[in-house]
Amino acid sequence: MKRLYRSKDNRVLCGVCGGIGDYLNVDPTIIRLLCLLLGFTGSGLIAYIVAAVIIPEE
C-alpha cells in the first residue's frame, strides 16, 4: 500500500512537494510550481504549512 510521506531525499524546504511528487509519480518540480502558484493566493502558503505539520516524515 502506498503512503504519503515528506521526502528526505527530494526536499527544498520541508519535503512536502517531493513527497507528493513521489506519491503521485510526478516530477516534484511540477508540484513545486503548482505550490508556488497557489502560494500567491495566500491559501496555498497556509496549505503548505499545514501539510508540513500533518504529513509524517519518511
- Domain chopping of the chain, boundaries: 22-54
Residue recorded with cell 511528487: 21
pLDDT in tens, 30-47: 988 988 888 888 787 888
Report if pTM > 0.85. Answer: no
30 CB-near residues (< 8 Å, 6+ apart): 21
Query: In the chain, what's the furthest Cα-to-Cα distance?
Result: 34
Three-state DSSP at 33 gives helix
pLDDT averaged over the chain? 85
pLDDT in tens, 15-24: 888 888 888 9
